Structure 1
Amino acid sequence: MAERESGVGPRGVLHPEQGASRFTVTTAPPGPALAPYVEYHWIVRWDVTGQPPYESRVLSHPNVHLVFEPAGPLLYGVIRGVYTRRLVDAGQVHGVRFLPGGFRVFAPGPVQELTDQVLPAARFFGEEADALCPRVLACPETDAMVALVEGFLAERLPAEPDPSPALGRGYPHAAQVAAVVREMTSDHTLVRVEQVAERFELSVRTLQRLFAEYVGVSPKAVLRRARLHEAAQRADHGSVDWAALAADLGYSDQAHLTRDFTAVVGVSPSRYARGER
């Protein structure tokens, strides 16, 4: 079942080449029962024994994560800044990356209420999540870890696939919201919320309400983050013509890209490209 093992990790991991010798990331697809809600499982394994602690930094995506870690299972809402994880000694964690909108079936209210929050998973899945955590982390093989977590989540899927009454009849369900986000993050010609609304035949207001209910951040924030992911990935892969990239990504000019990137990542694009943190 394991899909990929890499020393660099998925898109969004900052300075992946610096972490390549310190940790690996394995991803695995969900089974059929969870495929409408889960994008993939991810397992990070690290070993910095005898070395200084390493801080892995991630420019987060518009996804909710359930993470089984040594201190206990946690639920991470969408993180709007850069998420930093300090790696010490050796260990592993198992994460479930829900599709944008996919966690809504498990949430007691709008996903927006979870944004920038890190909460005990037991609030959403009961004390059984705490009991499951050591069993998951004791598994030496990825497939066994995934099977335990898949079974746990599948048993807790609600009978009603979309519990939100807030938007009334006729509005897209979680799978359709995920499709909107997928288009927004893959098509770099979409640079304004109005373009997205027009493509999916929705009003801007409806799109904003959908994202508050299902995704956790605004459509504008999703578009902005997709552009920053692209800028960071280009910088990770060699020399960049920043003025040309700014134009490609729909920025008014290079200065606009620089301000946006610096505000979120903490260093300018040129300093990031030089490996500065």
Structure 2
Amino acid sequence: MAASRRDTRGIVDPAGLLARVRFRRHRPAEPLRRHVETYWLIDWDLPEPYASHIVPHPSVNLSFQWEEADGPPYGELTGVARGLYTRKLTGRGRVCGVKFRPGGFRPYAPAEPVAHWTGHVLPARDVFPRAGGDTPRTVTGPADDLGRVAALDAFLLSLDPEPDPRADQAMDLVEQIRADRTVRRVADLARAEGLSVRALQRLFAAYVGVSPKWAILRYRLHEALELAGTRQDLDWAGLAADLGYADQAHLARDFTSTVGIPPAAYAHAARTP
């Protein structure tokens, strides 16, 4: 099993979350890595409730969860959340999650476009009947990461999706958006791929669940969130231009509407003990 990896992009107040929970990431089995980005495991034992906030990635997540106060373990499928995702943690519990690559979920549930799941949280068994029964307990039950990762691998390998070249295309395009800060305009991305803008939008609705413009802005917002939490005296006007926003005001509005507070206030809070 690969070593745990730390990546806090999209987590609002990562220091606060990591001070309260054990949060780890692991790589899935090699045959799964084309479609699955990472496994994420969280354990907590809290004296008082804590609300975690996430600015979601354009990814579908499958999670198996157990909370002491809620009874037996259960599975959930979470489509891409357009706004801030908030989860209240209480008492003792754990989550074993699967983060699919943006564009990588459709082969596992080919009957519906991924946009069908966007903004929805539903029982995992409604999408994967095998996720019912003993599966949630099998995944969340092991005391160590090795056992939980092995159980996630076994479950996903049993689904055995068919190859889908359009899923491959969507995954490659989203990765290009994520990695290349110069990708700012949907028309340019479509032209480089030899597609019309409308065809690119249809591809993203079917395989990613959100529009290409949404994905571009979301990854740029992740970068702004990370820098706001780690850099002092950040040049917001320069950052806005660097990220492809029309001006600082547009970045501030996008940040505030998604995170809930203005970027300067978030940066100040992140630096305040």
* TM-score w.r.t. length of structure 1: 0.90
SS in 2 for 1:4: coil
Contact between 1:82 and 1:264, CA under 8 Å: does it hold in 2? yes
Match of 2:62 among 49, 61, 66: 66
Q: Which residues of 2 match residues 30-49 of structure 1 at below 5 A?
A: 30-48=28-46
Matched residue, 2:80:
78
CA–CA distance in 2 between the matches of 1:30 and 1:173?
A: 22
Supply the distance in 2 between the matched residues of 1:83 and 1:130 (Cα, whole angstroms). 27
Q: Secondary structure at the match of 1:222?
A: helix
Q: Counting helix residues as a fraction of each chain, which structure ranks higher?
A: 2
Tell me the distance in 2 between the aligned counterparts of 1:204 and 1:30.
Answer: 34
Partner of 1:12: 10
Cα 1:203/1:5, change in 2 over 3 Å: closer
1:127 deviates by 4.9
Cα distance in 1, alignment partners of residues 86 and 2 from structure 2: 25
Give the gaps of 5 or more residues in structure 1.
163-171
1:3 aligns with 2:6: no
RMSD: 1.5
Q: 1:121 is matched with which residue?
A: 124
CA-to-partner distance for each residue in 1:20-65, whole Å, 9 max, x for gaps? 21012211112122122111111012222x2x21111010000000
Residue 128 of structure 1, CA deviation: 4.5
1:110 aligns with 2:113: yes
Question: In percent, how many aligned pairs have the same letter?
Answer: 44
Q: Does 1:191 align with 2:184?
A: yes
Deviations along 1:177-231, one digit per CA (max 9) or x if unpaired, are: 1111011011111111112112222211111010010000000100110111010
Q: 1:214 aligns with which of 207, 211, 214?
A: 207
Contact 2:124 2:131 in 1 (8 A): no
- Contact 2:65 2:74 (C-alpha < 8 Å) held by counterparts: yes
Whole-Å separation in 1 of the counterparts to 2:49 and 2:126: 31
**1:23 equivalent in structure 2:** 21
Give SS of 1:275's match. Answer: helix
Once residues 216 and 174 of structure 1 are traced to their aligned partners in structure 2, the CA distance between those partners, rounded to angstroms, is 12
Report the Cα offset of residue 142 of structure 1.
1.0
Q: Structure 2 unaligned segments of length 5 or more: list them.
A: 67-72
Number of the residue aligned with 2:70:
none
Contact 1:23 1:44 (8 Å CA) reproduced = yes
Q: Does 1:233 align with 2:226?
A: yes
Give the letter aligned to residue 147 of structure 2: A
